[in-house]
């Protein structure tokens, strides 16, 4: 640790070229997440929340600005080093689970470690630990299509945590779930956040979920505005 905030975006801009004009999603946007913080990003559909999360996760590159993790600017990394950074530092939870259908829950969770070069035996051992944490040890050898929506999302969370990330980024993690199942996932996210000492950023339309976070930032008109956590 360098003493720097785990995550900081400075002067961030994202612009898309549409025909002869440019579509500016946001410009000169700044964001900082403190160590151990749970931060919610809210806003209307199309405001750019998911775009921002993709930039923070190194899955897209900004038009301008810096994205700093513990003081290091990931926008300067080449594609290979950026992929390695994502694998070792970040965990991702998406609204759509993106589980590989031909693999079991255990194999899906172990995949980030296998990509890292961890042996099959160690990767599966660590994957089983994460599945145990999310209550799916008994379903570890089931294919993703044999799991319920809530179980699939728990596999996604286990996969996000298997590499011991420092930062968890989640995009609408309860968006495809019914209310009761969504509440269970919200509780599990909070539990895993505390247990693994994470810094977490959640994009969500669920204001009840957002209110469980330390801060709620609304992306509106290309700017981030602090909302009162009612």
Q: How many helical (H) and strand (E) elements, i.e. helices and strands, does the chain have?
A: 7, 10
157 located within any domain: yes
Does residue 214 carry a pLDDT above 90? yes
The verdict on residue 156 lying in a domain is yes
pLDDT at 41: 97
168 lies in which domain range? Answer: 36-61+89-227
Considering the domain boundaries, does residue 28 fall inside one?
no
pLDDT in tens, 140-174: 999 999 999 999 999 999 999 999 999 999 999 98
Which pLDDT belongs to residue 229?
A: 56
C-beta pairs of 71-77 under 8 Å, 24+ apart in sequence: 71/2, 71/4
pLDDT score recorded for residue 4 = 63
Confirm whether 82 is domain-assigned: no
Taking only the tens place, the pLDDT of each residue in 82-117 is: 999 999 999 999 888 889 999 999 999 999 999 999
Q: What DSSP line would sit under 18-66, residue for residue?
A: ETTEEEEEEEEEEEEE-TT-EEEEE--TTSSHHHHHHHHTTSS--SEEE
CA 191/CA 201 separation, integer angstroms: 15
Check which CATH number belongs to the domain holding 47 and give it: 3.40.50.300
> pLDDT tier at 230 (50, 70, 90 boundaries)?
low
Asked whether the predicted pLDDT for residue 175 surpasses 90, the reply is: no
How are beta strands 215-220 and 223-227 bridged, if at all? Answer: antiparallel
Mean of per-residue pLDDT scores for the chain: 93
* Number of independent structural domains in the chain: 1
Q: What percent of the chain lies above the pLDDT cut of 90?
A: 84
pTM of the full predicted structure?
Answer: 0.93
66 domain-assigned: no
Task: Report yes or no on 75 lying in a domain.
Answer: no
Q: Are the C-beta atoms of 61 and 97 separated by less than 8 Å?
A: no
Tokens linked to 201:
């950023």
Reported as a single tens digit per residue, the pLDDT across 16-53 is 988 888 889 999 999 999 999 999 999 998 899 999 99
Sign of the dihedral defined by the CA atoms of residues 88, 152, 199, 219, in that order: positive
Q: 1 pLDDT band (50/70/90 cuts)? A: very low
């Amino acid at each position: 640790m360098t003493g720097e905030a785990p995550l900081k975006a400075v002067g961030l801009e994202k612009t898309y070229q549409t025909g002869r004009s440019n579509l500016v999603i946001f410009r000169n946007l700044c964001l900082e997440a403190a160590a151990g913080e749970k931060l919610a990003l809210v806003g209307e559909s199309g405001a750019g929340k998911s775009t921002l999360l993709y930039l923070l996760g190194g899955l897209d590159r900004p038009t301008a600005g810096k994205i700093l993790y513990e003081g290091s600017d990931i926008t300067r990394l080449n594609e290979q080093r950026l992929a390695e950074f994502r694998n070792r530092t970040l965990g991702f939870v998406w609204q759509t689970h993106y589980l590989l259908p031909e693999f079991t829950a255990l194999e899906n969770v172990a995949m980030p470690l296998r990509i890292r070069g961890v042996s099959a035996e160690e990767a599966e051992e660590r994957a089983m630990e994460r599945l145990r944490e999310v209550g799916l040890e008994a379903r570890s050898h089931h294919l993703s299509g044999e799991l319920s929506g809530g179980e699939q999302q728990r596999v996604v969370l286990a996969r996000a945590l298997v590499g011991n990330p420092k930062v968890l980024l989640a995009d609408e993690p309860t968006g495809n779930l019914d209310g009761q199942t969504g509440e269970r996932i919200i509780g599990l996210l909070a539990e895993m956040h505390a247990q693994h000492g994470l810094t977490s950023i959640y994009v969500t339309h669920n204001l009840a979920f957002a209110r469980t976070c330390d801060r709620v930032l609304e992306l509106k008109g290309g700017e981030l505005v602090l909302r009162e956590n009612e």
